[in-house]
Chain A
């Protein structure tokens, strides 16, 4: 069974930093693109970025580029999201999401339970 378990959320002050982790199990982690997606309370979802299976390439949403860094440890099956210079509008539930493809169609298939991050003084 595929499982994605996020941790590291909590309260952080504006301008502060926070690092989220996502432990993956039930699949061969090193074979998959991985993503972070966030959802502010009562809002739609926002894709944050993704990372290639070998960790050699990342892509980011314009709103977080140069503030967030995605990385991974394939030996431990862990995905990371380092967030810096945080703003109040970064308050959201952050999801770790697996990327997959089938016959040329890409999609995000398995989602973690999400971890809440609150940016407030």
Chain B
């Protein structure tokens, strides 16, 4: 089973600040997907195939990485970005999620 470790666990950013969330895989994966989950809501697909934004996702978001190291970047933090972000690998069964990064605003 591929274990995904996300860092940081929690972070707070100021409006306009650049934010980078990380996801480290225990074995190499072909690509990474990211999900945004706001409090009390279902998760939403945010980024697929490492760097492709899902429909409706603002272009201040971007994704990058390869092998075992992936990241999600917000170029300029906004209040609406407050949420928990999870990475998900579908390269091998069982599918596994990261532990999540809770993003707050200062």
Interface residues, chain A, with chain B CB atoms under 8 Å away: 35, 44-47, 50, 59-62, 95, 102-109, 111-114
Contacts and interface: CB of A to CB of B under 8 A. Distances in A.
11 contacts: A44-B86, A44-B99, A45-B43, A59-B93, A104-B49, A105-B31, A105-B48, A106-B90, A108-B33, A108-B45, A109-B45
Nearest to A62: B94
Contacts of A60: 94
B48 A113 contact: no
A44 B100 contact: yes
B95 A47 contact: yes
A47 B94 contact: yes
A103 B48 CA distance: 11
Given A44-B86, A44-B97, A62-B94, A112 B45 contact: no
Contacts of A61: 94
Contacts of B43: 45, 95, 111
Contacts of B93: 59
B42 interface: yes
A62 B98 CA distance: 17
Nearest to A64: B94
B80 interface: no
B33 A107 contact: yes
A105 B94 contact: no
A102 B49 contact: yes
A93 to B, nearest CB: 9
B68 interface: no
B38 interface: no
A114 B44 CA distance: 13
Nearest to B94: A61
B7 interface: no
A47 B97 CA distance: 8
Contacts of A109: 45, 54
Contacts of B33: 105, 107-108
Contact of B97 (A46, A62, A103, A104): A46
A85 B101 CA distance: 33
